[in-house]
Structure 1
């Protein structure tokens, strides 16, 4: 037993250090990206759909690549699906509990349809419990036009491109903003890797399968940048970044992260990947869509937002999914 103490103690330190690093780096990254958006005249939502989502999804990409080349395709797929479930159930759930997020009408006509299409395509490919190389490549090729479409329609739609008047962007110069953006992004990736390493050490110690590790420990660990960035964005009033971050990250996970293991080598999957994990992800996506529709139907503009009730529902679904995972294992 004594020989197990040093690595477990090191893992504990890594987890604590990872949390601390994520909180600080997310604050600096959001400050830098928001300031850059302001200086360029771009809406924070555009930054959220591109730089923020891509940057904070870097840990998922790295984990997926490493796992795929090591023959751990289940971990890679679990990482992608688990991260999406965590983004909506955990990240958005906690974010809406911290601060109500205004819902803009363009969510229903632009971001959510793209996310639903990406989810449906991914579901079709996973239905036969396999992910072929051509399917992985197809998912990857869909990413660029999906992001391009969102950017184009927002440039043509003043209503969806408006920067929220609530909250203020930090008054940083261009160079300091770029510097903090770079430092924050690098620190986010490093901190996430440190935390994931510590969490994976814990999971492996208790003999959890690679799929479950991907769905839980790795998914939560690599989603922590989204949680930190979105929570801080909401508290600072950068609501467009918070929403754009979740939607952009989920699309990126489906079209890029999930495509990597299939593109590397054809992959056979457990039946539970589709029946349990994909189904849960798609169900929570539909729930989010329903919550957005309900919010937009309100005749009072101040009530068109995702608040504590939405947060409780999303977080409850996430907890129920975790209970199901532990029952299955």
Structure 2
């Protein structure tokens, strides 16, 4: 029954996330927000909703390891699993903005998270506010840079601009209820499965839950790569990792401070997260510059498989 809860919970999170993204984009058009700003901010916030609900639900129920493990594990999965598999199917080009802006910001947020957690073994409300303020500064700089180089955001569906208010309201209600129900079932099922397998909530959160909340990105990337369309960009993936740390943990900590219940989160998982983030730079330049080829994708996926195996073995 617990495994069924997990599967239903993940399905509800996917459905709820999709409805929330659609409603958020349609609502943004109603307020005459530009397509570029919608793509860089509104969509990013909405796609982080599943992780936010899971982390918040876990924190409120006293399972801080799931709150942290969900975000840290998702960031690892975004690079090792999603980016790795996508590059194996279809090599990705690396733009200059990646190493000049996006990558340094991701590393900065990752290192900041480590220091915030290691000083006091918790993420307090004040530290949550600091993360959100830092996210606001990042978004300001991101939008300013995008306007300067005239970046066109392709993933925003312009047909949503003519959506009726009734439909937007219905989508918001369906999305909100699905996300709430999905997070309830997923956290409850994950805790029960951890008990049955004799492993910690931290192990389940950085593996099963993290992979589950990364499924939408993985599915979209694989489909795009197989169709030879533009796959998920490196910038979008890096942005997702930044949002996971700043918005998901920031908002969760403001509502309910997050405590480090397992030493492995600080001593193992967060170093893997920073390691996966750091390795993108040498992979982007050596030996072929500005391209993530298939064998580089294999390196990322193999490293992720090693991480998952070590997590369960330990």
TM-score interval, normalised by the smaller of the two chains = 0.7 to 0.9
Contact 1:57 / 1:222 at 8 angstroms: preserved in 2?
A: no
Is 1:322 paired with 2:301?
no
Structure 2 gap segments, 5+ residues each? none
Whether contact under 8 Å (2:79, 2:277) holds in the other structure is yes
CA shift at 1:197, angstroms? 6.0
Checking the alignment, whether the CA contact within 8 Å between 2:58 and 2:187 is kept in structure 1 is: no
The separation in 2 between residues aligned to 1:94 and 1:289, in whole angstroms, is 18
Matched, 1:57 2:68: no
Secondary structure of 2:95 counterpart: coil
Shift, 1:274, TM fit: 1.8
Matching residue of 1:14: 8
Q: 2:247 aligns with which of 227, 248, 256?
A: 256
Question: 1:175 offset after TM fit, Å?
Answer: 2.7
Give the distance between the partners of 1:202 and 1:259, measured in 2 at CA: 28
- Give aligned pairs, total: 302
CA contact (8 A) 1:132 1:262 kept: yes
Match of 2:86 among 74, 95, 98: 95
TM-score, length of structure 1 as denominator length: 0.74
Conserved 8 A contact 1:196-1:217: no
- What's the counterpart of residue 148 of structure 1? 140
Partner residue in 2 for 1:307 = 293
Mapping 1:1-329, distance limit 5 Å: 7=1, 10-11=4-5, 14=8, 18=11, 22=14, 42=35, 49-128=40-119, 130-133=121-124, 134-158=126-150, 161=151, 172=159, 174-175=161-162, 186=175, 189=179, 193=183, 196=186, 200=190, 202-235=193-226, 237-239=229-231, 241-260=232-251, 262-263=253-254, 264-265=256-257, 267-294=259-286, 298=289, 304-328=290-314
Given that residues 54 and 252 in structure 1 are in contact (C-alpha distance below 8 angstroms), is that contact kept between their aligned partners in structure 2? yes
User: 1:209 Cα shift?
Assistant: 1.4
Change (3 A) 1:144 1:109: same
Following the alignment from structure 1 to structure 2, what is the Cα–Cα distance between the partners of residues 290 and 282?
Answer: 14
Structure 1: segments with no counterpart, 5+ residues: 1-6, 299-303
Checking the alignment, whether the CA contact within 8 Å between 2:55 and 2:66 is kept in structure 1 is yes
- Shift of residue 292, structure 1, vs aligned partner: 2.3
Give the deviation of 1:228 after TM superposition.
2.3
Cα pair distance change 1:177/1:212, threshold 3 Å: farther
Single out whichever of 206-215 and 309-318 deviates more from structure 2.
Answer: 206-215
CA displacement 1:233-256 (0-9 Å, x = unmatched): 4455244x5433311210011112
CA deviations 1:45-68 (Å, max 9, x no partner) are: x65542333222111100111111
Q: Is the 8 A contact 1:226 1:245 kept in 2?
A: no
Task: Return the TM-score normalized by structure 2.
Answer: 0.78
Assess, with a 3 A threshold, how the Cα gap between structure 1 residues 269 and 199 changes in structure 2: closer, same or farther.
closer
Give yes or no for contact 1:195–1:221 (8 Å, CA) kept in 2: no
| Cα separation, 1, equivalents of 2:7 and 2:306 | 29
Deviates more, 1:313-322 or 1:98-107: 98-107
CA distance in 2, matches of 1:117, 1:65: 24
Q: Determine the C-alpha separation between the residues in 2 that align with 1:246 and 1:148.
A: 18
